[in-house]
Structure 1
């Protein structure tokens, strides 16, 4: 499955065959990923960021002009209105099309995984170049969630973020996405976010201590992030 919320009844949700046992649903203005078992997560999420334990991941769509004076408060208010528990929830904000979320999955030696990306490139940027900066929070534009059924060390989870970021930058380069301020190839946008989640089930006993692109698990992360970013970005202007 690649873009299930464009191709089927949204109310059905999507249950990946790989990765931790979960259900991915599009509910109005939020993608809600509910996991059967708690996940160990490492993320840049505005809610539940850093190292955390999560039972669900929520990617909430906000208006394009959302200024985010208090995104944590706004996010928790949204959860209350939906009757979704705030405890054990990792929360992301985006202004991208949720219907165009791209989902890819795979398995390998000692792991299986699923990756979900929502993306827009209106504020594409190349890291390392000077630009106007700000302290206020803005909604994430490329939000990527990588969920792995397998045993990863904390260091490997950090390594996974590096690999995922490299894959995102490669996808944007191949798509020709540019930083309009500098007219150079973009490496991301100014408001991207990522979640790496692992479920240490009994299916896999081997411990992954590295997740660089030359490892089996890292190579899989790179491929799935590349594919989901490519699809979500390239279809963002389609209906």
Structure 2
């Protein structure tokens, strides 16, 4: 894994020397110049789709003002043309990707097997726009009018082999699956549902292959070596880019509150439960400041994160129809009892169940989440009063 953060242009060029491409880095853009004829498939508004006549591919950081100003496809295309010209590129022979991520947070992951080389170059951020396929839509496009949203995973994938057009489509599929794997392994949350994100709503990709290569490859699926290299490269680069841009990492996800945020549970919710507990039990009354301080001291405990994660996954499996509701609730209650050790008789209140159901949970999922959040609050109070 090679990070572009605090690196020089020379380092970028060295990192992809096997691909004969150079990367030029600017404050808000980087450019991959193509050495001779290359085939490119991209999702760019500018010269997107399958092309055989491009000379460069660029990735560009846009400002929020630009995002708000670009309300139509033509607006975006015109803006990308102006970016190309500012980079001394011919707008007719380049394609460009757009993102709100900083260019210095780019990650590069070259990988090879024998004479086959693959290199993923990724910028990533999903803290504001992470979504799961099938989530509620954010806008309806009408005659190419829409409202762009910030937060994007952009991937430029360089392959030193000759692939037919249909195989480049397979590259797109494998790379997209790999991106989803990276997010799944980080348990990255969707902003628009309670699910695990599979990407953002504005992700883009550009795939570059070499029609003059002696390597002729017809398959990029998961069974092929090329597919394996694509998967490993994209997973690695996406994971590193997310860490650089937003701090999303295994370390940041080792947190009870982060795991609960996927279900819209906050510190304030846990404090409100704690206040009810203090009213209805013999637990000594403590201030909100002391409660939250103790809560924050507990949330990184790996055992508590593991218990919380196990309960939340049971909720997932109920929603997916993989577990019957009654058995799921019984097992979840058992894990809560063993993990947090609350008094069985006190598992009767938590976040308002009706409110949870209104937020998209079924009655069983709401009941499990209600018990879990109550148990966490009680666990924190017991620690204060020990």
Q: Are 1:56 and 2:56 counterparts?
A: yes
Unaligned runs of 5+ in 2: 248-386
Max Rg structure: 2
> What does residue range 1-239 of structure 1 map to in structure 2 within 5 Å?
2-4=2-4, 6-9=5-8, 11-12=9-10, 14-15=12-13, 16-17=15-16, 20-53=19-52, 54-65=54-65, 66-67=67-68, 68-69=70-71, 70-121=75-126, 122-135=128-141, 136=146, 138=148, 141-202=152-213, 204-205=214-215, 207-237=216-246
* Greater percentage in helix: 2
In structure 2, distance between residues paired with 1:172 and 1:195: 20
In structure 1, distance between residues paired with 2:164 and 2:170: 10
In structure 2, distance between residues paired with 1:17 and 1:186: 30
- SS at structure 2 position matched to 1:164: helix
In structure 2, distance between residues paired with 1:79 and 1:177: 33
Quote how far apart the aligned CAs of 1:224 are. Answer: 0.5
Quote how far apart the aligned CAs of 1:109 are. Answer: 4.5
Q: Deviations over 1:51-90 (max 9, x none)?
A: 0122100111101351323011111122223322223201
RMSD of aligned alpha carbons: 1.9
What's the TM-score once normalised by structure 1's chain length? 0.90
- SS at structure 2 position matched to 1:235: helix
In structure 1, distance between residues paired with 2:147 and 2:10: 33
In structure 1, distance between residues paired with 2:151 and 2:163: 26
In structure 2, distance between residues paired with 1:117 and 1:226: 10
- SS at structure 2 position matched to 1:156: helix
Unaligned runs of 5+ in 1: none
Quote how far apart the aligned CAs of 1:47 are. Answer: 1.0
In structure 2, distance between residues paired with 1:104 and 1:165: 16
Quote how far apart the aligned CAs of 1:174 are. Answer: 0.8
